[in-house]
């Protein structure tokens, strides 16, 4: 596996940092080298938040990049800010529930998902980020879905079994969405 850098971006409170942290833990647990670099506004909930995750089968020379290969964008301001930075022929994953315009670039693979609506459909509005993450992993295989599923208890350590199960269900709903739509 070549080094892959994935940017997660949205409003604070949308689960941006949690998605990135989950991916970092899953990749680390699968034996890969990982960096996780969060950035968020002083407002926290409602302010801007983004996080860059780098995954590689070799040591990572630098955890930072101006041009990630992939971006998971949860809102319109993040699309406006980061669309131009994704590497050519990269992948852009959009939450169409919060992004009201089409990307302008034509050299990207665009994966769209109304994550908030899907979350409402399964009765778990707080699980929207896990739905999108499950769909993202199913499509990209950056970390194998079955590997990620093995580490839910580790990643959500200290949470109740009910919360772990609701997150697992949301994640699997995302996997299903990707299988049916992407």
Three-state DSSP at 37 gives strand
Quick check: 95 pLDDT over 80? yes
Q: Which residues share a beta bridge with 54?
A: 5, 35
Q: How many CB atoms lie within 10 A of CB 18?
A: 18
Structure confidence at residue 62 (pLDDT): 78
| % of the chain surpassing 90 pLDDT | 75
Strands 4-11, 48-56: pairing is: antiparallel
pLDDT digits (tens, 9 = 90+) for 36-76: 998 876 555 566 789 999 999 999 987 778 899 999 999 99
Quick check: 156 pLDDT over 70? yes
Q: What is the CATH number of the domain that holds 150?
A: 3.40.920.10
In which domain, by residue range, is 69 found? Answer: 4-181
Q: Count of domains in the chain?
A: 1
Contact 126, 109 (CB under 8 A): no
Tokens of 92: 């852009």
């Amino acid at each position: 596996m070549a080094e892959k850098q994935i940017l997660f971006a949205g409003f604070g409170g949308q689960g941006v940092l949690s998605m990135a942290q989950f991916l970092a833990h899953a990749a680390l647990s699968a034996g890969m080298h990982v960096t996780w670099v969060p950035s968020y506004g002083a407002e926290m909930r409602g302010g801007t938040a983004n996080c860059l995750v780098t995954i590689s089968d070799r040591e990572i020379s630098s955890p930072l990049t101006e041009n990630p290969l992939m971006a998971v964008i949860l809102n319109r301001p993040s699309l406006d800010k980061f669309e131009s930075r994704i590497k050519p022929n990269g992948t852009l994953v959009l939450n169409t529930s919060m992004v009201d315009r089409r990307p302008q670039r034509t050299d990207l693979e665009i994966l769209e998902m109304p994550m908030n609506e899907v979350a409402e459909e399964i009765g778990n509005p707080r699980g929207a980020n896990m739905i999108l993450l499950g769909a993202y992993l199913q499509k990209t295989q950056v970390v194998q879905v079955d590997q990620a599923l093995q580490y839910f208890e580790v990643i959500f350590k200290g949470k109740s079994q009910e919360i772990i199960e609701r997150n697992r269900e949301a994640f699997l709903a995302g996997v299903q969405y990707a299988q049916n739509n992407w």
